[in-house]
Amino acid sequence: MRDGAPQLQAYRIATAGPGSRAALAIACMILILLAVLPAFAGRNLIQDLIFLFYMLALAQCWNLLAGYAGLISVGQQAFVGLGGYILFALTLLAGLDPLLAIPLAGVASAVFALPTALVVFRLRGAYFAIGSWVVAEVYRLVFAQFKGLGGGTGTSLVPSITSNVLGIEWVKSMFDVRTPAARDIISYWAALALMATTLGFVYVVLRSRRGLALGAIRDQEAAAAGLGVDIYRLKLAVYVATAAVTGMVGALIYLQKARISPDAAFSVLDWTAYVIFIVVIGGIGTIEGPLIGAIIFYLLQRYLADFGAWYLILLGTLAITVMLFAPRGLWGFVAERYGVTLFPTRRRLVSGAGKGKGG
Amino acid sequence: MTGWLDALIQGILLGGLYALFAAGLSLIFGVMRLVNLAHGDLIVLAAFIILLLAEKLGLDPFAAVLVAAPVLFAIGFALQYALLNRTLGRDLLPPLLVTFGLSIMIQNGLLQLFSADSERLRSGAIETASIALGGGIAIGVVPLLTLLSAIAVIVVLNLIFYRTPLGRAFRAASDDLEVAQLMGIDHNRIFATAMGLAFVVIAIAALYLGLRANFDPTIGPARLLYAFEAVIIGGLGSFWGTLAGGIVLGLAQTVGARIDPEWQILSGHLAFLVVLGLRPRGLFPRAVD
């Protein structure tokens, strides 16, 4: 196709720049630091970080759904609760090790997500949002019927399960801690691994061919379809994949909490409203946004959560203000102003023949 | 047998309440394609406003709603004019997120002001009055009034939509906003008027919500879901369809409750999912989208 056309200047397509390569290196270093942190940090910090990690993983999932695939779901609590309940069923009723139950909860969530999608995908746009919420309510009401898992009042994990997690003896002797602290450390590593995997997964997906298609859907769905993007399949794939991750996060959350009830596990406030808040405040449609949003949310939660209703009113006001005056969130504001990206997914034309496709 | 017949009648009457919840949602979706996630919480807010007026002014709830309706019209008008109009556009997220934020603010604001206690609107003997139909079946006066009010609201809304200049502007803005603007329609005012009207419907819905059962600040989201289900079951864009949707939902709930009281809400949701699976555009569709 390019034969015959006068070649004025050679261009290549690049996604990364020197700044983002440095950011990747720093991210890897931070990851290693976080991995060895339990050797120095106290139990409170470890517990706070577990919370931060799982909220961040949930936020990255919701960001991929709403920020890229155009699936604004208000029903992701369906998969948090599902994952939690499957962990409880597999450990309490089937006697499985909790660490093994976490990936299985992810698989089960994906399996449930498929028929769920067939129904809710019939609704579009804003109607999809409320439809996904209805489905989450159906899950909540159905799980409230399982008497073996405590029915409407819920149930707890017995200590013999939580104290015999894979590798707990090793952690106890390695860090010289007692069982509860060792449990936290194992949950911490699981949360860190899940968060890092989610981040890596989203990054890789967005830089792939499918990521380009997702970006096209985000920008203009009809045009993307016109260019041959199979929108339904791609959305379905994103929905199922994020359901799997959300289910694993849910399993981890309820392993850490060791107590589950339908109202808490399928709470729209805890597992969807907060998550939306994180993504929107930080900046929807970017990888950096949820990262920043999660840290801000963690700080607000830590210092203001005692104010109860006032705290939630403040969160609501903040979300509305950001949506009206800085719709691309804090990171969008910074990125636009200073032109920086840490996890670049946008393809840019760079002059000079160079090495071909940039890394 | 009597039990089942009773469940059927109660289901239809309950459908009247759901149609009232849904009519406001249907109205604003029809005019400005806005899906209001705070709709349920606004109904609860209106119920608290009626309660407050009834207590402070010593009014019967039926009189209090007449005082509340213009106040709510003004609140709705201002909300749309100052806030929600700014969120409308090609992007779906801003209206959803802003109304979701509003929902959380209203719930927690009400919790702060009125505590989590259950409240109820009191209207004396009419609350418990019933009409015996013979054969051991009786229908409550309030549930019957609910259904009749729902029908009246729908008749009036249809009259406004198809018989008045305001309704013509509503339909024009809904069909093609740009052309409507070219014809000299101030869409900001039209949308605000539509929201004000929706708030009057919300006031009527709130009256019967409070008369029929207890309410507290947290029950809003469930009312939003019922309203939404009624709209989708009935089919977008038709007020009579919304009434039919409300009745289908009410029937599903009372029949489910008749089998097992714990299944009431669940069977309503399942009926919605079944309709969605079989007839994704609802039973009586009109609008395209």
Give tens-digit pLDDT for A40-73.
888 899 999 999 999 999 999 999 999 888 899 9
Q: Quickly count: other Cβ atoms within 10 Å of residue A26's Cβ.
A: 11
Q: The complex's ipTM? A: 0.91
Ranges A15-29, A196-210, B35-49, most confident: B35-49
Residue spans of the domains in chain B: they are 2-278
pLDDT more than 70, % of chain A:
92
Rounded to 10 degrees, the C-alpha dihedral A226/A227/A233/A237 comes to -130
Instruction: Kindly state the average pLDDT of the residues A122-139.
Output: 91
Of the pLDDT bands very low, low, confident and very high (cuts 50, 70, 90), residue A357 is very low
> Is the per-residue pLDDT at B259 higher than 50?
yes
Note the pTM of the prediction, 2 decimals: 0.90
Instruction: Kindly state the average pLDDT of the residues B182-201.
Output: 93
Instruction: Kindly state the average pLDDT of the residues A196-221.
Output: 87
Please check whether the domain covering A19-351 is classified as CATH 3.30.1460.
no
Query: What does pLDDT average to over chain A?
Result: 87
Q: Where are the alpha helices (DSSP H) in A168-220?
A: 168-175, 179-207, 209-219
**Residue B132, SS3 per DSSP:** strand
Tell me what pLDDT residue A267 has.
94
CB of A152 within 8 A of CB of A144? yes
Residues of B in contact with A131 (CB under 8 A): 232, 276
CB of B180 within 8 A of CB of B48? no
Contact A324 B94 (CB under 8 A): yes
Residues of A in contact with B105 (CB under 8 A): 312-313, 316-317
Select from B94, B265, B280 the Cβ nearest to the Cβ of A323.
B94
Of the pLDDT bands very low, low, confident and very high (cuts 50, 70, 90), residue A228 is confident
Contact A323 B270 (CB under 8 A): no
Nearest-Å Rg of the Cα atoms of chain B is 19
Tell me what pLDDT residue B289 has.
47
> Is the per-residue pLDDT at A358 higher than 50?
no
Instruction: Kindly state the average pLDDT of the residues A13-21.
Output: 69
Domain covering B2-278, topology: ABC transporter involved in vitamin B12 uptake, BtuC (1.10.3470)
Residues of B in contact with A132 (CB under 8 A): none
The count of CB pairs under 8 A between chains A and B is 118
A112 membership: H or E segment, kind and range = helix A98-120
> Is the per-residue pLDDT at A11 higher than 80?
no
> Is the per-residue pLDDT at A215 higher than 90?
no
Of the pLDDT bands very low, low, confident and very high (cuts 50, 70, 90), residue A27 is confident
Closest residue in chain B to residue A144, using alpha carbons only: B262
CB of B28 within 8 A of CB of B196? no
Residues of A in contact with B229 (CB under 8 A): 134
Give tens-digit pLDDT for B212-248.
999 999 999 999 999 999 999 998 878 999 999 999 9
Instruction: Kindly state the average pLDDT of the residues A255-274.
Output: 93
Instruction: Kindly state the average pLDDT of the residues B259-288.
Output: 86
Instruction: Kindly state the average pLDDT of the residues A237-258.
Output: 95
CA nearest to B31, candidates B243, B191, B198: B191
Instruction: Kindly state the average pLDDT of the residues A129-148.
Output: 93
A351 membership: H or E segment, kind and range = strand A348-351
Select from A127, A138, A145 the Cβ nearest to the Cβ of B232.
A127
